[in-house]
Amino acid sequence: MKSPAPEMVAIIDFGAQYAQLIARRVREERVYCEIFAYDAPWAEIAACEPSAFILTGGPESVLVPGAPHLDPHILAAGKPILGLCYGMQELAHAAGGTVVPGTIREYGRAELTVDAAQSALFLDVPGHSQVWMSHGDTVTTLPPGFIKLAHTSTCEVAALGNPETKQYGVQFHPEVRHTEHGRTILRNFLRQVAGLHREWEMSSFVDRAIDEIATALGGANAICALSGGVDSAVAATLVARAIGDRLTCIFVDHGLLREREAEQVVAAFRDVLHLNVIVVDARRRFLDALAGVEDPEHKRKVIGRNFIEVFEEHAQALAGVEFLVQGTLYPDVIESKTPHSKAGAKIKTHHNVGGLPEEMHLKLIEPLRLLFKDEVRRLGLELGLPPHIVNRQPFPGPGLAVRVLGAIDEERLRIVRRADAIAREEIERAGQDYPWQYFAVLTPLRSVGVMGDFRTYGNMVAIRAVTSDDGMTADWARLPYDTLQRISTRIVNEIPEVNRVVYDVTSKPPATIEWE
Ligand code: XMP
C-alpha cells in the first residue's frame, strides 16, 4: 500500500543567502519541505500540495522596480505563511500594509522585545532575547487584520501576524544560531500555527521512493558506480529495493583506497545487502597511469579519466542498461535552481570523480535528490546498511592519491595506508566524540633521525584531524596529547620508513582540509 504523502512546507526563495539553512531547520523539526524559486510556475508548487509556506529573505527592497514579488496564488491558497526579512516585507506589502524605505539599516545582533506574548508564534519565547536582524525597509502601517507582535530599538515592527489567516512575518532570521530562540519560533510556526503534527519519517520516504523508482524505470535495467561512500551506497540500496537484480553496481578498485576498504565495501554490498556487484581490479592500470605524476590537479585528471574509461568498458558489456543511478543530494539540486545561483553563485563541481559518460546516453536516476546528508545517513540505517558505511567520514574521490604528496608508487601508498589506519584506530579508541575527519598524509619531506645506534633519514608523516559541519570551513581538532603520542609512537615503530610525525594545527581557511 502506498503511504500518504507527507505534510509539506514550500519555501519560496527570494534569493536568500539562508534558504538552504531554513530548509535544514524545517527538516530538523521532522517536517518535509522543498525550496522553490519565487518565480517557479505555480502548477509546480501546487502539485506538491503544500500545507504552509515560508517566504525567505532576499537581497533587495520590495520597493525597488523589478524586485521579486510574491506569486498571488500563494496568498490565494489560504494556507499559513511565515515571511522572513524580505519575505515579511513582501507579505505586508501584498496583504495591504505600507512599507517605506528605512532611514537606518540594521544588520547583526539586536534585542527583540515581544509585545504579544500570547501569540502562538512566540510560545515559550522570553520577553527579551537576542535575534539576528537584517533590515532596511520598515513596515509603517500594518495590513488589515494584522497585529504587531514584537519590536527592537530601531525596528518598530519586528514581527507581525494575523491569527485569523495564520499569516506571520518576522524581520529577523530565526534560522541562524545567533537568534537565541529561532528554533522555537520556527517550531511554533510549524506546529502551533500551521498545525503540522505528523512527523516526517524515513520509513514512509522509503515506501514512496521505491514506488517512484519502480515506476520511473519500468522494465529497464540500471547501473551504479559504487565509490564506497555513503551517498552512492544508499542510492544503490534504495534502487535495488525497487528493481532487485536489474541493478548492477560497479565498484572500481583503483588501488587508492584505505586499508581493507575494498574488501569491506564488497562484503557489505554482496554478503550483507545481496546487491549485484561487479568488482573491477584496476589497481595496476591506475598505478601505471599515475607513474611520475606529481601535480595534484594532474593526478585528479588522470584518475577521473581512467575511472570513466573503466566504468564505461564494464557498463557497455551489460545488456539493456538505460539508467544510471547517482547519489546527488539536495544541496547540489538547490544550488542549481535557486535565484541565488541564477545570479551567478558558483557551483562546486571539482570534488566529483563524475562527469560520467554522457555519450552512453543513460538516463539519470537520483533517488536522494531531495535529501540532506544527515537524512541520507538515517535512510541508510533504515535500509539496513552497516554503520561503518553509513557513518563513513568524507573521503576524496581520488583517494590516497591526494594524500601522498608528490609522485605515487606502491611503496608510498603502503606507507600512507598503514599510517592512516594507525591514526584512525587510535583516534577511534580515544572516545565516541570523533572529529569530523581525520587521516594521515605522506609528505615528500625526509629528515634526519636516530633509531637505536643508527642515524636514519626517513619520511615525514603528517596527521590531520578537523572539526567541521560541512567541510567548507574547519578547525583543527584538539586531540588529547596522549592520543597524539600513541599515534606517533606506533607509526614510527610499525613503519620503518617513517622517522617523524607532525600534527597539522591550521584551520580552513586559510588552509584546506586535504594537503594534496
Ligand atoms: P578541502 O581539501 O577542499 O576539502 O578543504 C573539503 C572536503 O572535501 C573532501 N574532498 C573531496 N571529496 N571528492 C570528494 O568526494 C574529491 O575529489 C574531494 N577532494 C576533497 C575533503 O576530504 C574534505 O572533506
Q: CA-to-CA distance for 111 and 106, rounded, in angstroms?
A: 12
Q: Are strands 8-13 and 32-37 parallel, antiparallel or unpaired?
A: parallel
Confidence at residue 343, expressed as pLDDT on a 0 to 100 scale: 39
What SS3 class is residue 78?
coil
Pair 403, 514: CB distance under 8 Å: yes
Ligand 1, residue 436: give the atom nearest the CA.
24
Give residue ranges with CB within 6 A of ligand 1. Answer: 351, 394, 396-398, 437, 471, 508, 512-514
- Other beta carbons less than 10 A from residue 224's beta carbon: 27
Ligand 1, residue 397: give the atom nearest the CA.
13
Confidence at residue 428, expressed as pLDDT on a 0 to 100 scale: 94
- Average pLDDT estimate for 14-24: 87
In this model, does residue 8 exceed pLDDT 60?
yes
Ligand 1, residue 402: give the atom nearest the CA.
19
Confidence at residue 2, expressed as pLDDT on a 0 to 100 scale: 47
Q: Which protein residue's CA is at the shortest distance from atom 19 of ligand 1?
A: 396
Candidates 258, 300, 403, 513: which one to mutate for ligand 1, based on the most atoms within 8 Å of Cβ?
513
Nearest to 484 by CA among 436, 429, 442, 445: 429
Ligand 1, residue 514: give the atom nearest the CA.
2
Greater pLDDT, 63 or 42:
42
Instruction: For the chain, give the percent of residues with pLDDT over 90.
Output: 70
Residue 41 CA, ligand 1 centroid: distance in Å: 36
pLDDT tens digits, 487-512: 999 999 999 999 999 999 999 989 99
Confidence band, pLDDT 50/70/90 cuts, at residue 352: very low
Ligand 1, residue 352: give the atom nearest the CA.
13
Residue 8 CA, ligand 1 centroid: distance in Å: 33
Residue of 175, 180, 259, 426 marked catalytic: 175
- Average pLDDT estimate for 164-168: 98
Confidence band, pLDDT 50/70/90 cuts, at residue 361: confident
Residue 214 CA, ligand 1 centroid: distance in Å: 33
Candidates 305, 328, 346, 351: which one to mutate for ligand 1, based on the most atoms within 8 Å of Cβ?
351
- Show me where the domains of the chain are located: 8-193, 202-390, 403-503
In this model, does residue 333 exceed pLDDT 70?
yes
Nearest to 276 by CA among 210, 321, 214: 321
Q: Which residue has the cell 495590513?
A: 143
Q: Which of 96-105, 175-184, 378-387 has the lowest mean pLDDT?
A: 96-105
Instruction: Check if 175 is active-site.
Output: yes
Q: Which protein residue's CA is at the shortest distance from atom 12 of ligand 1?
A: 396
Pair 208, 48: CB distance under 8 Å: no
Confidence at residue 356, expressed as pLDDT on a 0 to 100 scale: 57
Dig out the grid coordinates for 156 from the structure: 518598530
Fold of 403-503: GMP Synthetase; Chain A, domain 3 (3.30.300)
Residue 292 CA, ligand 1 centroid: distance in Å: 23
Residue 399 CA, ligand 1 centroid: distance in Å: 10
Task: Provide the residue type at 5 as one letter.
Answer: A
Q: CA-to-CA distance for 112 and 204, rounded, in angstroms?
A: 39
Confidence band, pLDDT 50/70/90 cuts, at residue 452: confident
Fold of 8-193: Rossmann fold (3.40.50)
Instruction: Check if 155 is active-site.
Output: no
Fold of 202-390: Rossmann fold (3.40.50)
Distance set, CA 175 to CA 21, 23, 50, 150, 474 (Å): 7, 9, 20, 17, 21
Confidence band, pLDDT 50/70/90 cuts, at residue 5: low
Residue of 173, 181, 254, 340 marked catalytic: 173
In this model, does residue 341 exceed pLDDT 70?
no
In this model, does residue 88 exceed pLDDT 50?
yes
Instruction: For the chain, give the percent of residues with pLDDT over 70.
Output: 94
**What is the average pLDDT score of the chain?**
90
Ligand 1, residue 468: give the atom nearest the CA.
24
Candidates 230, 514, 515, 516: which one to mutate for ligand 1, based on the most atoms within 8 Å of Cβ?
514
Pair 376, 230: CB distance under 8 Å: yes
Residue 212 CA, ligand 1 centroid: distance in Å: 32
Residue 514 CA, ligand 1 centroid: distance in Å: 7
Q: Which of 270-274, 305-309, 402-406 has the lowest mean pLDDT?
A: 270-274
> Which residues, including other chains, have CB under 8 Å from residue 157's CB and lie 6 or more apart?
138, 139, 140, 142, 148, 151, 171
In this model, does residue 346 exceed pLDDT 50?
no
Pair 219, 245: CB distance under 8 Å: no
pLDDT tens digits, 273-326: 889 999 999 999 999 999 999 999 999 999 999 998 999 888 888 988 999 999
Instruction: Check if 314 is active-site.
Output: no
In this model, does residue 347 exceed pLDDT 50?
no
In this model, does residue 350 exceed pLDDT 60?
no
Greater pLDDT, 329 or 164:
164
Confidence band, pLDDT 50/70/90 cuts, at residue 161: very high
Q: Which of 201-205, 242-246, 505-509 has the lowest mean pLDDT?
A: 201-205
Residue of 7, 34, 85, 155 marked catalytic: 85
Do 403-503 and 8-193 fall under one CATH topology?
A: no
pLDDT tens digits, 412-429: 999 999 999 999 999 999
What SS3 class is residue 463?
strand
Q: Which protein residue's CA is at the shortest distance from atom 18 of ligand 1?
A: 396
In this model, does residue 444 exceed pLDDT 50?
yes
In this model, does residue 461 exceed pLDDT 90?
yes
